[in-house]
Amino acid sequence: MIAVISADLLSSSSYPKELLEKVITTLNREFRSIQQSSEEDSGFRIFRGDSFQGVVYEPSEALNLALLFKTAINRLHLKDINGNKAFKREADLRMAIGIGTYDFKRESILESNGEAFQFSGRTLDEMKKEHRKLKLKTPDANLNEEFNTSFFLFDTLSDKWSTASAEVIYYLLKGFKETEIADELGISQSAVNQRKKAAGWDAIEVLLNRYQKVISEHFSDGK
């Protein structure tokens, strides 16, 4: 079993050129980072200018990775002043996680196929009509119902993020401690803690832990 993340940029046609360039540069940097830390090619690539897809060989890690992509994009802005200020988010993603079999392997992930690819791609298409930003599709209907209810709540929470909130969540997802984030951003630890609470990190961490535990129990990572 594998996980496939399929995503597209929300309202990308309205992005200024500078913002779109920032988004694409940021995503490609994240893709390179994933590749450097993995023995297998995840195949994350941008296509059509505003969409991407790739494989996560450990399905239990797919949600953490999806949120890493989201926060990497949510924290971007075009303001020419101190990046530590909080601004309204200018870019966002719609993402579908599909978990299933990997039946047809090609050198290019975009030419590969299987249950996980179909679940992910079809769910992303459905989401465009539902105005959802994050969904899961697996062979287990009960799991789908549980997590898609939680993801709906997460959408509501994350829609309230500022760029500063998203930036703190981004570093927390990468495993940084509050003091390390403070050093990285040039702000106080108390400011980091305030942004962490405002973004709802405690609830997000519970969701991530629940996802990892349940998906690990139901699907053998990478098999």
Q: 2-218: which CATH topology?
A: Alpha-Beta Plaits (3.30.70)
Q: Is the pLDDT of residue 222 over 50?
A: no
pLDDT tens digits, one per residue of 103-156:
656 555 555 668 899 999 999 999 988 889 999 999 999 999 999 999 999 999
Average pLDDT over residues 82-110: 78
Q: Which of 29, 162, 171 is nearest to 88 (CA)?
A: 162
Burial class of residue 20, CB neighbours in 10 A (0-12, 13-18, 19+): middle
What would the pLDDT profile of 22-78 be if each residue is shown by its tens digit? 999 999 999 999 988 777 778 899 988 899 999 999 999 999 999 999 999 999 988
> What average pLDDT does range 171-193 have in this prediction?
96
List the domain boundaries for the chain.
Answer: 2-218
The predicted model scores a pTM of 0.91
Mean pLDDT over the full length of the chain: 90
